[in-house]
Structures are given as structure tokens and as C-alpha cells.
Amino acid sequence: MHYFDHAATTPPYPEVIQTLTDIMSLYYGNPSALHRAGEDAAKLLKKAREVCAAALSALPSEIVFTSGATEGNNMAIKGAAMHYQSRGRHLITAVTEHPSVYQAFRQLEELGWEVTWMPVAGDGTVDPAALAEHVRKDTVLVSIMHVNNETGAVQPLEDIGRRIKEKNSRVLFHVDGVQGFGKLPVSLQNWQADLYTLSAHKFKGPKGAGIMYVKQGVQLYPLIAGGSQEGGYRGGTENVAAAAAVAKAMRLSAERQAEFYERARRLRDILVHHIADMPELMLNSSEHGAPHIIHFSYPGLKPEVLVHTLEEGGFLVSTKSACSSKSSEPSRTLIEMGRNADEAASGIRISLGWEHTEAEVRELGAALKSAVAQLAPMTGRKG
């Protein structure tokens, strides 16, 4: 079976699996304990934090280990809103954000915060100048994702960060970096990001683990009250093995990012060429999008029909984001990009990883062409 759903999750590096096994077997002490086993675990945790920080050109004290990006995004958005509510109760985000960001802002709206929802252009990107016009004296936080999880649209973060800070230097800038890390260059300094969140299983790390970058001096209201672990932001005994595995995956992915970009871009272009050759399909991903995500619609056809037809041929792809793939509603992202309901309800996402070869991608292209022709009668078209 050929797996083409890397935007949903990636197979872990063998080195990550080995790290998890070794540390769970040998370093099971509680890092808060005062005895030797606890000290050994604490040293490992310290080293993991240093490695994660180095991958982001950050300080170790700016790294908070989390259970993944859903927790990180909620902690960044709600934690910032609650801690800085004396500055104001206005927030800004985009209409195409991942559900873990989108729903966090909806909750804050229900609690009385005012949210400006930025529209996107047909390619899925936000206009930085238009966003900056909405920044006010009472704006507390702006949150914009790096790479869209469905279409691969890449947001102009450096331009957005610069314009936000020029308008109001006290506004915090949060970036959901889940789909960008390891695939595209990351520069928190150039983006002027104050908060940045990652989920490890998107870059060949373990599930249920991630990190949040919190710029030195920024404060958050802790959502998980308890002990003083993770700088007091997140009470509870640290998962030392997961933290070390996250660090391993971050280091390997950062070192290989440029190579991955070139490799994935080449394979992506092959697939895009195949899709462009089929008039039944409509490409939703931009030429300037991320190298590993290709998204298209097959109007008139339920996407699960094409997914299962390709699966019968040995290829695993997805409909939209993994967090909403079981919903029958049209894609919110595609609707906001100007697609009609039929186009937005028939989206297919193909996402690439290190394991793919040119031959495998060409096989997928051929299988897709065969499936589209086979299913055309169901859409009223001739096969």
C-alpha cells in the first residue's frame, strides 16, 4: 500500500522510535524527583529543550513541551487573551485556520472577546496590508498559520509580522507552524513571532507530543493548573521520552529541510502535471504553495468515492484535513477561497513524504487518471 497522507501524520524516523524505546526503558524517573533517577531524567529533559531551541534559533527557556499543536494553539491563543485582557479584548485571525485555532477563537467570542476574521484570496493567502488596517490599540493577539493544512497555501508571515508590529508593537503574533516545519524555512525572528506551535507527528516524531515557543518576556495564563512544570504553563509530570523524541525529530527535520523541499517540489510538479491533464479535476493548491501538499476537487463526485477507488488500487489519500475528514460538510477553507459548494465538497488532498519516489508518484498519477475515467459516469460525464 502506498501512503500519500503525510499532512495527516508521518511515519516516525527509526531513530525516534529507538529514542523512545531506550528512554522509556532506562530513564523512567520523575524529572521533579530529587534522587539520581529523577536527576537523570531532568538532564535528558534539559538536553531535549536545548536541541528543540537550537532547531528554531531560540533560547531553551523559550521552549514548552506540550501534547501537540491542538493544546499548544489553545494555550497560546486563550493563554495570551486571558493574561493580557487588561490591554483590550480584540483579536485577529484568518477564516481558513485549522480547527484547533478556529474553535479557540470561537470560544473566546462566546466569552465576550471581539474577533476580526480575515478573508483570504483565491490562492488562500491573507493580504498583510488589509490585516494591518484592522490592528487597533486594544488588539491583543494576531494568529496566522504558516501553511494551510488542506491546500498548502503559504502565508506571507514576514510581511504580516512587520506590519502588525509597525501598527502596534505590543500586539502578540502567534504562528501555527504545524505544516511548515521541516518543509519550508522557519525564521521566528524575521516573522517577529511571539508564539509558535508544532506537533511532532507531522515531522516524523511521536503522536501526542509537540512544543510551543514562547518568546522571552511573553506571559500566558496557564490553562492546565498544577505543579510548576514547563515554566508553570503546564502542570503535570513531563513525558521525558516524548520530549527527547520530539527533539530528535526536530533536529533531523531541520537539518534535512532544504533537501526535502527540493525533492518534494519535484514530485509535486509531476503530480500537478497529471492533474492538469484531467479536465474533470480542478486544482486548489497554488503554484507558490508548500511543496508537499496537492489539493484538487472533482466536482460532482463525493470525495470518499475517489478515496476508496484509489485505495483499492493501493494508494492512500485523504479528503481534507484529518481533523475534519469525517465531516460531510463542504470544506470551510475552499468556500472561503471562493469555491462553490460542489467544488468545496469534493476535495482530495495528496501529501508527500521522504519515502516517495518519482516512480511511485507516476504510478499514483496513472491510478488517478484511471479512477477519474472510471467514475466519470457518476458525475454525468462520459468516461
Catalytic residues: 323
The answer to whether the CB of 160 falls within 8 A of the CB of 128 is yes
Own/partner pairs, 373-380, CB within 8 angstroms, 24+ separation: 374/309, 375/298, 375/301, 375/305, 375/306, 375/309, 376/280, 378/300, 378/301, 378/305, 379/280, 379/298, 379/299, 379/300, 379/301, 380/300
Taking the CB of residue 313, how many other CB atoms lie within 10 A of it?
17
Structure letter (DSSP) for residue 381: S
User: CA 254 to CA 242: how far, in whole Å?
Assistant: 18
Q: Does an H or E element contain 94, and which? A: strand 90-94
Which residues are bridge partners to 212 per DSSP?
Answer: 64, 197
Distances from the Cα of 196 to the Cαs of 93, 193, 266, 351, in angstroms?
A: 14, 7, 28, 23
* Dihedrals phi, psi of 138, to nearest 5 degrees: -100, 15
Determine contact, residues 124/339, Cβ cutoff 8 Å.
Answer: no
Would you state the cell numbers that stand for residue 292, as one nine-digit string?
A: 508537499
Among 347, 366, 367, 3, which Cα is nearest to 204's? 3
- Nearest of 109, 70, 116 to residue 91 by alpha carbon: 116
Cβ atoms of residues 118 and 94 within 8 Å: yes
Of 241, 368, 248, nearest to 301 by C-alpha is: 368
